[in-house]
Amino acid sequence: MNVLEHVYTATFAMLGAGVLFTLVRLVRGPSVLDRIICLNALSVLVVSSIAVEVAVRGDTAYIGLMVTIALLGFVGTLTAARFAERRAHDRG
């Protein structure tokens, strides 16, 4: 194994730990906004994992998938935050 393979392995391990911690926070989050932020962080971690996989393989076929997941995560977060804001406004 060369140094770059060790870097890729360490990067995947750190991204996996990030996903694990994010999933724990998603389950235990005390509010809806915490869960929305966790879903956004999860989409960022998935896109980052795909980017590392693209770097490992040297194949750019997954770039469109990365952009699609990033856009869906962004739009989903905006929609959920707007829904949560309206819900809080109706209660208050």
Residue 78's alpha-carbon distances to 52, 67, 73, in angstroms, are 26, 17, 9
Q: How many domains does the chain have?
A: 1
In tens, the pLDDT along 12-48 reads 999 999 999 999 999 998 888 888 889 999 999 999 9
Residue 2 backbone phi and psi in degrees, to 5: -90, 180
Looking at residue 29, its pLDDT comes to 82
Looking at residue 92, its pLDDT comes to 67
Res 76 pLDDT > 80: yes
- Whole-model pTM: value is 0.85
Q: Domain span at residue 30?
A: 3-91
Segment 70-90 mean pLDDT: 87
Which residues lie below 8 Å from residue 25, measured CB to CB, with a gap of 6+? Answer: 34, 38
Residue 2's alpha-carbon distances to 5, 7, 8, 50, 61, in angstroms, are 6, 9, 10, 21, 25
In tens, the pLDDT along 62-74 reads 999 999 999 999 9
pLDDT band with cut points at 50, 70 and 90 for residue 88? confident
Residue 38 has which token pair?
A: 């966790």
Under DSSP, is residue 2 helix (H, G, I), strand (E, B) or coil? coil
Residue 88 has which token pair?
A: 């809080």
